Structure 1
């Protein structure tokens, strides 16, 4: 039982990080109808900016404090992601309003390669580290309840708590603020929202900025765990099954889907992996997502699309 709970908790913590990346997809799709394939590149770009600014700031300011460097780097990287979001809306999306979905998808693919190239040009292509003081040592918990206790990775626990806090803040933002309610109105009906005076262009800039902040937090966490390298763009691919499972238009769906995928990956690798030769953790999420596409294409919490002829 203790080993099962250990695997379950590890899956929940990993799933929370998947949810964080999936939120970027959901937020942009809800507000603008664009499936943002560039979310992975945004995570990479934000992580590169954070890592490099943390290296450069002590030389620029003469202040050697790691805490100051990390805080300043986070603020600067956030400003960079705001600028990236504004430029994407102004130079790309504004000119593609009411275009076909395939056109918008290709536009986000172009943004992906552009961000990867610009990131490599300005920040370099080596492997960089982000050290935000997250504990690396594991800890034992529930030793009095289970024999030998349960091993918990402190870094994963802190990362999951950060992700959960950001998700809670986003939920409050969408539910309690006037801007959040305007974004929900835009998500429900673009034309109706525009008819009552809600500026679509500004709302799209805001939601891309929010997605940029989400990408920055995700990049900071994944960069701390794995190092900042160009393989971080594949993190977005791991979030695609989460979006499919939870539903493209549902923020709660992104959270629940991430937890299901995270737990499913860990449990399948431990309990089914020995029977299929291992490696099941790599493809389990995609097979599960394929099954949902066949049975419930809109996902667990997505809105069912009804076409009237």
Structure 2
């Protein structure tokens, strides 16, 4: 039994290196997309200190808006621009109607407000676009189809073109947002708001503008995530379940760290695929659905602040 758990999977990796590369590639794609989802959570948490439970449904709502507009006869790229405008309107509405009235309230109240936002977006999405699964307009947006087969290591590795595009686009978005929030004036303002709302206000930083910016950025990230995940499967309300994988990613990387979201996403994505392929037959199918949360539990026990999170020291 110990041999099958600790030795045999690694023997299989050595005997079939092409399958190992294929598994690593699938994990890399999933990990980058998990990191993109987690990034939306990180942006809002850094600006307000509140975990946005609605980020998952924002992914679904953005994708439904895009597909729904196209179904009504709007050209694909015009629908994309209109969806971006809808996410901006959502950011303004959240700031005006939810965040502004609840400023300086306990974090748990803002957290519960995001629950309300979740069910509002679910109801609005079903009312306007219906509850049936939809097909993402991937080809209309210029996303590639088909596969690329590469001969290597005595076998071949099959790469889906949509996965390559998703990895490149998601990586570019993550890198761009990281640079934007690290090097620009808005990014410095965001870090100031994250450190202290009162201190930020004292130097003339507008909380309202910062909140709109980060919620809009999170909305754009949600739209990109919805397009990529929708192109790989379909657009339905079940996509919000995928967004829950951002929880273990955030626990691993730290709730306030953009690099942590990237590293955590890769660890979870690759770890899931390796666990499912090599240890799944031994431990039972479906290991991919719970392994991420098991890894997160280990981190909570031994490093609760995550790999890149800051330790919180309180005087008693």
TM-score band (shorter)?
A: over 0.9
Q: TM-score, normalised by structure 1?
A: 0.93
State the Cα distance separating 1:177 from its structure 2 match.
2.0
State the Cα distance separating 1:186 from its structure 2 match.
1.3
State the Cα distance separating 1:249 from its structure 2 match.
0.5
Q: Does the residue aligned with 1:116 lie in a helix, a strand or coil?
A: helix
Q: Is the Cα contact below 8 Å between 1:242 and 1:258 reproduced in 2? A: yes
Q: Is the Cα contact below 8 Å between 2:162 and 2:231 reproduced in 1? A: no
In the TM superposition, structure 1's runs of 4+ consecutive aligned residues that sit over 4 Å from their partners are none
Residue 79 (structure 2) aligns with? 73
Structure-to-structure mapping, 1:137-152, within 5 angstroms: 137-141=146-150, 143=151, 145-152=152-159
Q: In 2, Cα distance between the equivalents of 1:132 and 1:180?
A: 32
Unaligned runs of 5+ in 2: 1-16
Q: Does the residue aligned with 2:149 lie in a helix, a strand or coil?
A: strand
Q: In 2, Cα distance between the equivalents of 1:176 and 1:301?
A: 19
Q: Does 1:268 align with 2:284?
A: no
Structure-to-structure mapping, 1:161-240, within 5 angstroms: 161-240=168-247
1:166-218 CA-partner distances (Å, limit 9, x unpaired)? 11110221123211221122122222211111011111111111101111111
Q: Is the Cα contact below 8 Å between 1:57 and 1:72 reproduced in 2? A: no
Q: In 2, Cα distance between the equivalents of 1:226 and 1:99?
A: 40
Q: Does 1:4 align with 2:20?
A: yes
Q: Is the Cα contact below 8 Å between 1:246 and 1:253 reproduced in 2? A: yes
- Alignment: residue pair count: 297
Q: Is the Cα contact below 8 Å between 2:268 and 2:292 reproduced in 1? A: yes
Residue 7 (structure 2) aligns with? none
Equivalent residue for 2:109, pick from 85, 95, 103: 103
Equivalent residue for 2:44, pick from 28, 44, 51: 28
State the Cα distance separating 1:98 from its structure 2 match.
1.9
Give the alignment's Cα RMSD to 1 decimal. 1.2
Q: In 2, Cα distance between the equivalents of 1:138 and 1:85?
A: 37
Q: TM-score, normalised by structure 2?
A: 0.91
Q: Does the residue aligned with 1:140 lie in a helix, a strand or coil?
A: strand
Q: Is the Cα contact below 8 Å between 1:50 and 1:73 reproduced in 2? A: yes
Q: In 1, Cα distance between the equivalents of 2:289 and 2:144?
A: 26
Q: Is the Cα contact below 8 Å between 1:70 and 1:132 reproduced in 2? A: no
Q: In 1, Cα distance between the equivalents of 2:235 and 2:292?
A: 24
Unaligned runs of 5+ in 1: 59-68
Residue 58 (structure 2) aligns with? 42
Residue 57 (structure 1) aligns with? 73
Q: In 2, Cα distance between the equivalents of 1:247 and 1:137?
A: 36
Q: In 2, Cα distance between the equivalents of 1:165 and 1:93?
A: 30
1:197-253 CA-partner distances (Å, limit 9, x unpaired)? 101111111111110111111111111121111101112112111111111000000
Q: Does the residue aligned with 1:57 lie in a helix, a strand or coil?
A: coil
State the Cα distance separating 1:8 from its structure 2 match.
0.7
Q: Is the Cα contact below 8 Å between 1:241 and 1:286 reproduced in 2? A: yes
Residue 242 (structure 1) aligns with? 249
